[in-house]
Amino acid sequence: MNSEPTKPSRRTDTREKIIEAAASLIPELGWGDVSSRRVAERAGVNTGVIHYHVESIGELRRIAAVRKIRTFFLDRVGEALAQADPAAAVETMLRALSANEPRDPELLLLYESLVAASRDDQLRAEIAASLAEFRQWLCDWFAARGVTQPLIIAVTLTAALDGYLLQRSLDPSIDPGPLIDGLVGLVRQHLA
């Protein structure tokens, strides 16, 4: 048996370059201005290669956006949930999300995607499924740590995160302190 790790195929590498190129262009140009031509230029491939890997530019934008949104939240939240104390984890999570500049490309991609989802049923369904999975993950995590009413905490936390990130994009001076204090206090009230 060969113990050498398998290398990603050239096809996989090209597909990943294309997805990354689309993800980098969405916050830079706006959802509607991300075209096959622009993605091909950014990825360093021929335009025809784009349609070999995806059916349409709309599908490519959806794939890139949903993947980046998931990664953005999972990276920050995953680190916070490594803590045992639910209240400390919530504070760490909110501070991690506040560390990004309000005009950070990852946040701009999130905003562009949410606006596009209002007109794209498939994108809306994919983002909604990711958010539902995220809420369930939080709910399960809180329940395993003795938080009473973990679903209430998970829904409140995710809604507060969305609202905070949106408000911060409009007013970068907004202080996360009151939100952190409020959510940490809420979690502490629900510890068994």
Q: Where along the chain do its domains lie?
A: 63-189
In our burial notation (b when 16+ CB lie closer than 10 A, e otherwise), range 68-102 reads: bbbebbeebbeebbeeeebbebbbbbbeebbeeeb
pLDDT of residue 10 exceeding 80:
no
In whole angstroms, give the CA distance from residue 123 to residue 135: 18
What pLDDT sits at residue 8?
54
Token pair belonging to 113: 């995607």
Q: Across the chain, how many H-helices and E-strands are there?
A: 9, 0
**Closest C-alpha among 1, 5, 20 to residue 65:** 20
In whole angstroms, give the CA distance from residue 96 to residue 147: 22
pLDDT average, residue stretch 108-120: 94
- pLDDT band for 7, please (50, 70, 90 cuts): low
- pLDDT band for 103, please (50, 70, 90 cuts): confident
| 63-189 has CATH 1.10.357 classification | yes
Number of CB atoms found within 10 A of residue 116's CB: 20
Beta bridge partners of 191: 147
In sequence order, what DSSP letters do the residues of 63-104 get, joined into one string?
HHHHHHHHHHHHHHHHHHTTSS-HHHHHHHHHHHHHTS-TT-
pTM of this structure: 0.83
pLDDT average, residue stretch 158-178: 91
pLDDT average, residue stretch 36-64: 94
Contact yes or no for 14/53 (Cβ under 8 A): yes
